[in-house]
Structure 1
Amino acid sequence: MFLNSDNQFTARGRLVDNPFINISQETGNAIVSITLAQDHPFKKKGDGTKETVFINYTAIDTQNNKIASRLADYVVKGSLVSLVGFHDSYVKTNEQGKKEYLETKRILQFRNEESKERTEERRKGKV
């Protein structure tokens, strides 16, 4: 088992879609999956442009941290956010009885770099 600090990440980008809350049938916890559009750190050979990558992240409410609910309340499509979290891996048995090793990027903290209202104004062209 890894400690959260062993596999930590930081990320910054804009939300591709509005966050959507799912409720886990096993635990009853709220789960939010988001996708961030992020500039790839390296330029393309030839034309020198940067490429945008789309990376999925997951937030799960716990007894002590309602991160998924807060994320869904405070950000919208196009919001610029910074994330801190860790890479989490788990094993799942598929329908054929084989083990699948899966990985997810779990969000522990987020910072909204612009307000929800400012994001909506910017998207409407008012800013």
Structure 2
Amino acid sequence: MSGSTVRAAGCVLWRRAPDGDGLEICLVHRPRYDDWSHPKGKLKRGETPLEGALREVLEETGHHCAPGAALPTARYAANGRPKEVSYWAAEATGGAFVPNDEVDRLAWLPPDTARTRLSRPGDRVQLDALLEHGPHA
């Protein structure tokens, strides 16, 4: 089974709220699936999970980021195949979102709103871990 596992990686991308009170979480909307999720994607051949996570964040959000703590790995079935997604907390360090075919919208949301907006309940595990332990844990 492990040979057929789809490997992917992503980040729970965050920034300090503009008013200085707390954090905002970045979610992306993918029109192909009509869902809201953390930026993530499949690994390229020879790419480490962290390299893939940082590349996907940049491709999907237009933002560079500084990776922090590893977050729980997500494991679920996608299109009949097992999928494993490695996640990190990552602070946005600059950039600008430009809509594209893969991601047409981006939202910076307070954590509670982000938790509700996530389309896949399983994606809340990583957000909850970031909030429980802090973004630098």
Fold conserved between structures, TM > 0.5? no
Q: Give the TM bin, normalised by the shorter chain.
A: under 0.3
TM-score (norm 2): 0.24
Taking CA–CA contacts closer than 8 Å with sequence separation of 6 or more, which of the two structures ends up with the larger relative contact order? 2
Higher helix share: 2
TM-score (norm 1): 0.25
Higher strand share: 1
